[in-house]
A and B are shown apart, each in its own frame.
Chain A
């Protein structure tokens, strides 16, 4: 099909060229010129390499090429025929250029296929250790490790649950029944009617408490998913959920522990502030602000002038949640807290767009050398 097209493209202008050539008293016959066409097409199509094809192209279209020569003869054409002649030869040139371009593509494809068929390595040969410089751990991993360090030192075990969860573990057991408006607080990705991408690592609380009786100190890090996508929200991010269940655990203990966390994570002078909030699985529930490390609490652009930065949610474990896990709420009490690892990383490293964390631009990642 393609060949026919080329013939048409090239042959269409030929009668005009021939008529123009009639005026050239040089003795070329129309025959000679037709041969030039056919020769060009034939040669181009026969070319086996891009190099060979290039040479053929030069032979016709190069500075001293045959078609170029036709154009140079313009002055020998009678003035009234010149525009038509010029137009037609030019059309011929364009058509030939297209021909070469298409042949070039075909040759390259052929060359690539050939190269692929020839390239082969002996995969059993030993690998090379070629490190030029150290790599880096992702900032989220770095912050996650730091958080784990802080809490592991306080006696927290690290527990990881599944990322695709059942509604039961993600909501129901966490005191969020089907008609509870709190289910709307987090836009959930469902994979079936019953299974979903977990919206919170809190699901891990239940799985651990089902296995283990208090005393419990648990930290549950991991990916969570919410149908949310803008500069500060990503449909996937990391949470770190902490849980302490033991006898006589109080709200004072929660704040004491979070103060400690803030001092290690942000600065020795960091403080926390509790204010009322709501989570279905804790009662009382609090939002926890940390004094702004950038301005020391005086108020700056980072903390929007308030001196405080919202860092995590927490509260005393709801008695129903303990009951759901077979823990006697009259004997034990506990607290839980959950924070976004990306949020802490952004605060710590001064990033303004959460998307940076999943773009994996090496210029970004290489800044996290240790």
Chain B
């Protein structure tokens, strides 16, 4: 919301500087995002009266002017412009001045032009940063000729009106009433404790026979519709003060009638529209939903095809405006418009927003309606517009007014107490101070001891309870009056992480200790990521929750598997020259029971782990074992298969009979596709499945009565025999065998034969009932050996 300082001053006597006002607005809830001094780039430019012109002796196209710059002296200035003449008053940038030039700032210095001294430069409107709406003649090709009688030696900024500030103010969503210069002025008046000077809304009405019947068929979408008929219109140009204000707010002047609607919008926040009465068929206005496929061409000559979701303003036969967004071309104000029907209405904010979005058509008007316009301002703004019609003399205000739901709204009343307000704030605001603040903000206040009866201004639809009053009071009284206390009345509560949250942290710390760095990825990726993984078309991972309005296709599906994000992380690292690394991420995947969703999807935590550059399958497996150890889990690994993993280097991770994840080498063909030269190992575990078996607490186990005995066993077996088979064969046959750890494996085709390998295990025996004699252990050892021979064809080495 842009508010020119000069315009603001019309309603409030501002006795502080622009910078001070910025601070004050900030402290009462209006952040000035940008404070711009319009004349900041134009310095040292003064008015000068040309007293003599002569041809440059050596340049046909240059004129040498003698300029009387008042207190700044008589200057000789050369110019190439052809519109200068003796008696003209012009802007002169003297030695050391700055002006605008081709989007930058140009510094002016005394110099010689073709041997003739030039003490500065005469300026065009463009060089001062102004257009015709600021000052007549600013857009002529040549020097800006100032109004006759402009004194010499004046600062040009005051003369052309750029000695002014623009406040660009952020308005919070609860204060649509401040989407206007007057709205901000009300706040400024309150904060400066100055009276507010309301703009004039009086006018005389001339009787008329014309009637424009207004029929609102959708009362919910159009809670109020005010219309007024103006006759004897003579379209002309607006006066400079009005054009200048529009220009300050970034609007171009069109014609007086149109300018009035724009001016009132900026001034009061109420969007207005003017129809050419002669084009309102049947002298009727109907506010209804558009028919399916109905078309309208708006003022900017764009055609829209509508649906019943769009509210349309129609005459007896056709659509004449897209409600709240833009008028129709068919009833546009033209140079020969003779009579006008003004509209000031309230349209439902969400309907305007939806139509505006659906059609991709926005305007200053739709922006206001989307934020909310109150019913009260409709009639106020209409009166203001009619006053301006009279003031500008561009038409005759008639007595005909249509006002559907003619109701300014009932003022809300809030019954509360000073104590309630103070209890929320935690401080005692002096009663008379609180009352004065509310009154300055135009709240009606009746006080009876501690009790308060507050009447809310009609335009403050956001206020409906005592906490709102507390906010009004404290933002004006000042938040610096709040004295910090540390929960002096609160009950002591037990805080901290839940067991589950602690476990997640423990998992992260476990992997950290193993040398892995924690990664963080978006929760969504591209559906193409499933193709990269070569997942079959019916893979469950492809049944992902889709975002209806994603930023782009790349970020459009919710993760069902974390691996693609991790692969992308590895690729990025390798491309940046990080040739080795180890990462993990613990995050949710989103699994839909049914698509499209009928209930919230289940969010399951997964952990994905990756290592690249150095390391191998067993190094990554070590990390998984570290997790198992940290949470006292029994995980087993079986040869497995995944479309995106190396067929020979893939395992399924199981917890009991339940599959809880996978681990393996990224498929070499995918690695090749991604230009990954070194091998990448990946693992993804269903953390939520694993956490069910996390050790709850430590339970003490009795110490064995007798010391354990350790024996080593080395055998040769066929190469395809796995370590897991060996282990279960060793442990399965003898109860006292508690642990079998592989400590050596090697192949040697010459010694062992091409199909054989040697495996050596360290076996730990323990028995509770009796001490283990060497003989007993021998017996166990032989039992194990014969089991291995029979079941797996092992031979003792």
Q: A363 to chain B: which residues have CB within 8 Å? A: 576, 578
- Take A195-B600, A252-B427, A366-B517 as given contacts and tell me if A283 and B486 are in contact as well, using a CB distance cutoff of 8 Å: no
In the complex, the answer to whether A250 meets B672 with C-beta atoms within 8 Å is no
Query: Given that A223-B523, A253-B488, A319-B465 are known contacts, is A129 also in contact with B514, CB under 8 Å in the complex?
Result: yes
A126 interfacial by beta-carbon distance below 8 Å = yes
Q: How far is the CB of B91 from chain A (nearest CB, A)?
A: 34
Smallest CB separation, A307 vs chain B (Å): 13
Tell me how far the C-beta of B653 lies from the nearest C-beta in chain A, rounded to whole angstroms. Answer: 10
| Residue pair A316, B424 in contact (C-beta under 8 Å) | yes
Question: Which residues of A (134-149) have their CB < 8 Å from a CB of B?
Answer: 134-138, 140-141, 145, 148
Task: Flag whether B724 is at the interface (Cβ < 8 A).
Answer: yes
Q: Report how far A216 CA is from B487 CA in the complex, Å.
A: 12
Q: B514-555: which have CB < 8 Å to A?
A: 514-524, 545-551, 555
Question: Considering only CB atoms, which chain B residue lies closest to A247 in the complex?
Answer: B489
Do B624 and A127 touch across chains, with their CB atoms under 8 A apart?
A: yes
Q: Which residue of B lies closest to A317 (CB)?
A: B467
**Is B470 in the interface zone, CB < 8 Å from A?**
yes
Q: A235 near B: Cβ within 8 Å?
A: yes
Q: Mark B489-503, 1 if CB is under 8 A from A, else 0.
A: 111111111100100
Q: Does A36 contact B (CB under 8 A)?
A: no
Q: Which residues of A contact B488 (CB under 8 A)?
A: 253
Complex: how many Å from CA A151 to CA B497?
Answer: 10
**Cross-chain contact B619 with A130 (CB below 8 angstroms):** yes
Binds A, one of B32-40, B168-176, B764-772: B168-176
* Shortest Cβ distance from residue A269 to the other chain B in the assembled complex, whole angstroms: 14
| Docked-complex contact B512 and A135, CB < 8 angstroms | yes
Measured between beta carbons, the chain A residues less than 8 angstroms from B724 are 122, 124
Against B, the Cβ 8 Å flags (1 = close, 0 = not) of A14-26 are 0000000000000
A252 touches B727 (CB 8 A): no
Whole-angstrom distance between the alpha carbons of A120 and B651 in the complex? 11
Q: Which of B244-252, B447-455, B581-589 contacts A (4 or more CB under 8 A)?
A: B581-589
Q: How far is the CA of A145 from the CA of B504 in the complex (A)?
A: 12
Determine whether the beta carbon of B512 is less than 8 Å from that of A137.
Answer: yes
Does A88 lie at the interface of the complex (its beta carbon under 8 Å from any beta carbon of B)?
A: no
Q: Which of A230-267 contact B (CB under 8 A)?
A: 235-236, 244, 246-253, 255-257, 259-260
Q: How many residues of A contact B (CB 8 A)?
A: 104
Q: How far is it, in angstroms, between the C-alpha of A275 and the C-alpha of B581 when the chains are bound?
A: 46
- Chain-B contact segment, one of A65-73, A161-169, A292-300: A161-169
| Closest CB in chain B relative to A363 CB, distance in Å | 6
With a CB–CB cut-off of 8 A, which chain B residues contact A274? 479, 482
Q: Is residue A286 contacting chain B, with contact meaning CB distance below 8 A?
A: yes
Using Cβ atoms and an 8 Å threshold, which residues of chain B touch A141?
Answer: 508, 518, 520
How many whole Å from A130's CB to the nearest CB in chain B? 5
> Does chain A have a CB within 8 A of B603?
yes
**Given A253-B426, A274-B482: A163 and B523 interface contact (C-beta under 8 Å):** yes
Contact with B along A329-350 (1 / 0, CB 8 A): 0000100000000000000000
Known A190-B547, A255-B482, A365-B519: A276·B28 in contact at CB below 8 Å: yes
Which of chain A's residues have a CB closer than 8 A to the CB of B26?
A: 275
B732 to chain A, nearest CB (A): 14
Complex Cα distance A126/B558, Å?
Answer: 35
Contacting chain A: which of B70-78, B198-206, B347-355? B347-355
A275-B495 CB under 8 A given contacts A127-B618, A253-B485, A319-B465: no
User: Is A136 in contact with B558, judged by CB distance below 8 angstroms?
Assistant: no
Take A184-B353, A250-B424 as given contacts and tell me if A135 and B518 are in contact as well, using a CB distance cutoff of 8 Å.
yes
User: Chain B residues near A140 (CB, 8 Å)?
Assistant: 520
Is A192 positioned at the interface, with any CB of B under 8 Å from its CB? Answer: yes
Verify if A158 is at the interface (C-beta below 8 Å from B). yes
Which residues on the A side are within 8 Å of B475 (C-beta)? 276, 284
Closest CB in chain B relative to A322 CB, distance in Å: 11
Bound CA span A322–B572, Å: 47
- Whether B425 contacts A283 by the Cβ 8 Å rule is no
Contacts of A116 in B (CB 8 A): 646-648, 668-669
In the bound complex, CA of A129 to CA of B353 (Å): 59
Q: Evaluate contact between B513 and A134: CB separation under 8 angstroms.
A: yes
Please state if B521 and A360 are interface contacts (CB–CB under 8 Å).
Answer: yes
Which A residues touch B29, using CB under 8 A? 275-278
User: Does the CB pair B618–A119 fall under 8 Å?
Assistant: no
Q: Hey, which chain A residues are within 8 Å of B424, CB to CB?
A: 250-251, 284, 316, 333
What's the nearest-Cβ distance from chain B to residue A368, in Å?
8
Shortest B671–chain A CB gap in Å is 10
User: Are A246 and B618 neighbours in the complex by a CB distance under 8 Å?
Assistant: no
Residues of B within 8 A of A246 (CB): 487, 489-491
CA of A195 to CA of B3, assembled, Å: 39
Would you call B603 and A117 a contact (CB within 8 A)?
A: no
* B668/A148 in contact, CB under 8 A: no
Residue of B nearest to A124 (CB): B724
Residues of A within 8 A of B498 (CB): 157-158
Contact between chains at A122 and B722 (CB < 8 Å): yes
- Closest Cβ of chain B: how far from A273's Cβ, in Å? 7
- Are A164 and B617 in touch, CB under 8 angstroms? no
Q: How distant is the Cα of A125 from the Cα of B47 in the complex, in angstroms? A: 93
C-alpha spacing A272/B479, complex, angstroms: 11
Known contacts A153-B495, A248-B423, A360-B573, A133 near B515 by CB under 8 Å: yes
Interface of A is mostly: mixed
Minimum C-beta distance from B128 to chain A (A) = 29
Chain B nearest CB from A317 CB (Å) reads: 9
Is B27 at the interface (CB under 8 A from chain A)?
Answer: yes
Question: Are B572 and A361 in contact (CB-based, < 8 A)?
Answer: yes
Given the complex, which residues of B lie within 8 Å of A359, measured CB to CB?
Answer: 572
Given contacts A128-B619, A129-B514, A138-B520, contact A278 B596 (CB under 8 A): no
CA A157 to CA B499, docked complex, whole Å: 12
- Contact A121 B490, CB 8 Å, known A112-B669, A130-B622, A278-B172: no
Distance of B588 from chain A, by nearest CB (Å): 6
CB distance from A79 to the nearest CB of B (A): 49
Selected interface stretch from A4-12, A39-47, A92-100, A174-182 = A174-182
In the complex, the answer to whether B484 meets A129 with C-beta atoms within 8 Å is no
B175 touches A278 (CB 8 A): yes
Any B CB within 8 A of the CB of A227: yes
Q: Which of B349, B370, B523, B588 contacts A225 (CB 8 A)?
A: B523
The residue that B496 contacts in the complex, of A123, A130, A158, A252, with Cβ under 8 A, is A158
Q: Report the bound CA distance from A112 to B370 in whole Å.
A: 62
A115 to B647, CA, bound (A): 11
* Cβ-defined contact, A181 with B372, below 8 A: yes
Give the distance in Å from the alpha carbon of A162 to the alpha carbon of B487 in the complex: 29
Tell me how far the C-beta of A278 lies from the nearest C-beta in chain B, rounded to whole angstroms. Answer: 4
Whether A256 and B487, one on each chain, are in contact in the complex, defined by CB atoms closer than 8 angstroms, is: yes
Q: How far is the CA of A162 from the CA of B604 in the complex (A)?
A: 10
Q: Is the CB of A129 within 8 A of B467?
A: no
A179-B352 Cα distance, complex, nearest whole Å: 10
Q: Closest CB of chain B to A89's CB: distance in Å?
A: 36
The answer to whether B489 touches A249, judged by C-beta atoms less than 8 angstroms apart, is yes
The residue on A at minimum CB distance from B486 is A256
> Which 6 A/B pairs are nearest by Cβ-Cβ distance?
A250-B426, A124-B724, A252-B426, A127-B621, A276-B29, A284-B471
Ordered by A's residue number, 29 sampled pairs between the chains whose C-beta atoms are within 8 Å are A117-B648, A122-B722, A124-B636, A129-B622, A135-B513, A135-B584, A137-B508, A157-B493, A164-B600, A179-B349, A190-B548, A195-B597, A229-B551, A235-B551, A250-B423, A250-B485, A252-B482, A252-B485, A253-B487, A256-B487, A259-B484, A274-B479, A275-B26, A275-B29, A277-B29, A278-B173, A316-B470, A319-B467, A362-B578
Question: Which B positions have Cβ atoms within 8 angstroms of A?
Answer: 26-29, 172-176, 348-350, 353, 370-372, 423-427, 465, 467-468, 470-471, 474-475, 479-480, 482-498, 501, 505, 508-509, 511-524, 545-551, 555, 558, 569, 572-573, 576, 578, 581-584, 588, 590, 596-597, 600-601, 603, 615-626, 636-640, 646-651, 663, 668-669, 672, 722-725, 727, 741-742, 745
Q: Other CB < 8 Å A-B pairs besides A276-B28, A318-B467, 7 of them?
A: A116-B646, A154-B495, A250-B423, A257-B487, A283-B468, A286-B479, A358-B520
